[in-house]
Structure 1
């Protein structure tokens, strides 16, 4: 079963959704048959590589919300994150363009480290105040993931994986995805947002049953018991 997750490193609900999905997947009996792929999405492609301002200032300007409203939103999201064992620090978040970070995730996928890259980027962005647009930071992360230094350097000297990231954007548009996180199961089922773990569990079970229907091995009925009693 193939699950594709469209997500942005700069999306706080995407990290919460990742945790809730992981909780559901950990309890799924067929989890070893599930292939998870992270797809790229950008909430604001127009962001400069580095934004001179805080997350609160940025959201107030872009969404036109009063700073007090943004602060309330931060409090709500932080509480939801805490419920999943995450320690958000919005006051330390560095606002930056996530395009290069998405390219690194695609590179990491070639080394079997896609989920590890996604996890580190989300954690470093929301919990540790790292600059996900920084060449120095992304280089250090790539090396920490065990990726060859020359391959990591290519991200900043060429446009390698840029087309892959843009293809993910196009796929999202084709599927009608307008917000993240968005989970697609076998290109048949879609779940929008950081759903509760129970919702993910129900979706996994339904998708599995439809993909792997029960097949009777005999046309003849054997003895069995039912609501009205047992066969004699």
Structure 2
């Protein structure tokens, strides 16, 4: 079984959704036969690498919420993350361009370290307030997960893997994906948003049964926990 996860490092819901999928897989008897891959999705490709806009400012601007309401939303998402074992510190995060970070995730996939790289970037951004557009920071994070520093530096000094990032973007368009996280299972089932682990497990069981063989399931309905439209309303 293949699961393709469309996500952005800027998206707090994406890491929550990925953790919920992992919780479902822990209860899935055929988890050893599941292959997970990550596909790039830039929520806002126009963001500069040195952007000073905070997550509070962007959320307020994109949703029209007051500062107090935005603070409550951040607290809510932080608590949901905590329930999944994640230690978010969202206040004051500066939203920067994520393109180079996505390129590093593609490099990591060649060495079977894609998930480790993706997780490390999420933790650095959402928990540690580190810039995921800063070349020095990206080099440090990539080396932490075991990537070769010379290969990482070569990517940072070039546009390597930009074609792969663009191909992911085109694939998302073809699939009709407008927000993340979005999970594609066996090229047939789509799960939109950070659904509960129970929803993930149900779709996993259905997809497995169909190919081994048996029943079917409709596309999981979209719920809270999706970032879209060039922003991530929490």
TM-score (norm 2): 0.87
How far apart, in 1, do the equivalents of 2:193 and 2:79 lie? Answer: 17
Report what 1:133 is aligned to.
133
Spell out the pairing of 1:212-227 with structure 2 (5 A cutoff).
212-213=212-213
**Mapping for residues 174-213 of structure 1, pairs under 5 Å:** 174-213=174-213
1:83 alignment partner in structure 2: 83
Cα distance between partner residues in 2 of 1:83 and 1:156: 35
SS of corresponding position for 1:90: coil
* Unaligned stretches of 5+ residues in structure 2: 215-234
Query: In the alignment, what sits opposite 1:145?
Result: 145
Task: Confirm or deny that 1:117 pairs with 2:117.
Answer: yes
Partner of 2:156: 156
1:205: Cα distance to partner?
0.3
CA distance in 2, matches of 1:39, 1:55: 23
Alignment partner, residue 57 of structure 2:
57
Match of 1:24 in 2: 24
Aligned position for 2:229: none
**Which one is further off, 136-145 or 182-191?**
136-145
- Asked if the contact 2:52–2:94 (Cα under 8 Å) also holds between the matched residues in 1, the reply is no
Q: Distance in 2 between matches of 1:45 and 1:65?
A: 23
Shift of 1:62: 4.2
**Corresponding residue of 1:223:** none
Matched-pair contact (CA < 8 Å) for 2:45–2:97: yes
RMSD of aligned residue pairs (Cα, Å): 1.3
Residues in 1 aligned to 2:40 and 2:53: alpha-carbon distance in whole angstroms? 25
- Normalising by structure 1, report the TM-score: 0.88
Aligned mates of 2:165, 2:34 — CA distance in 1: 23
1:63, distance to aligned residue in structure 2 (A): 4.1
Residues 92, 128 of structure 1: 8 Å contact kept: no
1:72: which partner in 2? 72
Distance 2:37 2:108 in 1: 12
Q: Which stretch has the larger CA shift, 152-161 or 14-23?
A: 152-161
SS in 2 for 1:61: helix
Deviation for aligned residue 1:65: 3.3
Q: Which moved more, 1:141-150 or 1:16-25?
A: 141-150
Show the counterpart of 1:36.
36
Q: Report which of the two structures shows the higher radius of gyration computed on alpha carbons.
A: 1
Residue ranges of structure 1 left out of the alignment (5+ in a row): 215-232
Instruction: State the secondary structure of the residue aligned to 1:47.
Output: coil
Give how far 1:61 is off: 3.2
Secondary structure at 1:136's aligned position in 2? helix
